[in-house]
Structure 1
Amino acid sequence: MSEDANVARAAALDTATLSDALDRLGIVGQCYKIAGRDPDFRMAGRAYTMLCGPASTPPGTVGDYIDDVPPGHVVVIDNGGRDDATIWGDILTEIAHRRGLAGTVIDGISRDVSLCRALGYPVFSKGHWMRTGKDRVQVEVTNCPVNIGGARVAPGDILRGDPDGVIVIPQAHEDAVLDAAEEIHAAEESIRAACRTGMRLDEARKQFKYHSLQTRQK
């Protein structure tokens, strides 16, 4: 379990519940079309971000940052959604796994999917394809705000990934988001428990205010 209390809290919640909490607070944190390369991948950790762009002449590198990422963090790569060249492969997966990183999230694609599945190292991206990004893509800046599936991710934000996708929780609002998500989770658990004792679903939803759980707060 993470020694970071709020990362541990996020890890105990699913992305659907966190998404509802973000909606309640009016925060855009759902990373559109970012999905695990294995349907069972799960991760939680703080963001180590990088912005990538087309390779210059001579070209820059795509993976020399990996030894600088702190254990337990999530590598977050903004490649502008590019799907014609990968930005992550088996060497990075092996080193990230060995160094105890929490996972990788890419606005773009990855490759060498079999290794991340075999190691259980979570990679979330828009897809996968084998064409290398070498001499096509390069890292421009690290530890800067980036865009992942339409959501802003800043260094230190919490990333949570599961079979439904990826959520970013902005560091400035993480306590409020997690408090709201835990409240929503508790209410939904109460609804399930009430229905197991024979209560009608509509009655249980009314009792535990289901229809207003995700409503935007003024």
Structure 2
Amino acid sequence: MNDINEKSDTSDNNRARASRLDTATLSDALDRFGIVGQCTGIKPRDAGFRLCGRAWTILYGPPTTPPGTVGDYIDDVPEGSVLVLDNAGREDCTVWGDILTEIAHRRKIAGTVIDGICRDVSLCLSLGYPVFSKGHWMRTGKDRVQVESMQVPVNIGQARVMPGDLLVGDADGVIVIPRVHEERVLAAAEEIEAAESAIRAAARAGMRLDEARREHRYHALQTKVGA
């Protein structure tokens, strides 16, 4: 996996490490420690989209009377962050559209992850701005949902996300690495990646795949510690 937005925060070494790993490898590392960080059902709007950054979270809820806003927060989000929007998985109205995409892209935000849907997909595709969601549809969230709170714990595809957690997204979906566990998860993922690279190299050199896998403990790479 290529480095993703690494230059926007060169002081964050773990973010740079995460940007070099794919979600499949990180998923195996999470499994090793029994951590649920795989965001079920959250997919990129384009298979080429990739993101890596720290979570800046928003929780949505039902509207008040009169209703609050869906999204007047964008200018407060730091460059390089991943916007994480918890709309309780709703697919009947959106919380992200073309104005937010344009400004987020201009402000060099790393991407947007939504437990719910977005709209105006054509702009995120043309700009190359990464949006990951359950789907897309045109119906507005105005007067249907509102921002409940910001920078609080949220849920994305059955995975808990805290402000500042690392998120990585690619063609396979989105992974959340809890900040409190990121050092050991990243170390395990790097070990898994090295083992799989060694297996491929051995197979290319003529070794039988089953032998290469056995030599590098392929079938136990993701096994839960203590199992």
TM over 0.5: yes
Measured in 2, the distance between the counterparts of 1:55 and 1:88 equals 16
Deviation at 1:22, TM superposition (A): 0.1
Match of 1:76 in 2: 84
Structure 1 segment 16-95 matched on structure 2, within 5 A: 16-95=24-103
Instruction: Give the Cα separation in 2 of the matches to 1:68 and 1:173.
Output: 27
**Distance in 1 separating the partners of 2:135 and 2:111:** 16
Say whether residues 1:116 and 2:124 are aligned partners.
yes
Q: Match of 1:138?
A: 146
Where do residues 6-17 of structure 1 align in structure 2 (5 Å cutoff)? Answer: 6-17=14-25
**Number of aligned residue pairs:** 218
Residue deviations 1:112-152, cap 9 Å, x none? 00000000000000000000001111000000000000000
Aligned-partner SS, 2:155: strand
Secondary structure, aligned partner of 2:92: coil
Unaligned runs of 5+ in 2: 1-5
Q: CA deviation at 1:104?
A: 0.2
Structure 1 letter corresponding to 2:157: G
4+ long deviations beyond 2 Å: none
Structure 2 CA distance for aligned equivalents of residues 62 and 179 of structure 1:
38
SS of alignment partner, residue 84 of structure 1 = strand
Which runs of no fewer than 5 residues in structure 1 stay unpaired?
A: none
Deviation of the 1:7 alpha carbon: 1.0
Matched, 1:184 2:192: yes
TM-score normalised by L of structure 1: 0.99
Q: Distance in 1 between matches of 2:92 and 2:205?
A: 53
1:65 shift after superposition: 0.8
> What percent of counterpart residues are identical?
72
> What value does the CA root-mean-square deviation take over the aligned residues?
0.6
The separation in 1 between residues aligned to 2:46 and 2:143, in whole angstroms, is 28
Cα deviation for residue 179 of structure 1 reads: 0.1
2:223 and 2:116 mapped to 1: Cα distance?
32
Q: Which moved more, 1:2-11 or 1:120-129?
A: 2-11
Match of 1:172 among 180, 203, 208: 180
The CA deviation at 1:202 is 0.4
Name the amino acid aligned to 1:136.
Answer: R
Which amino acid is 1:92 matched to?
L
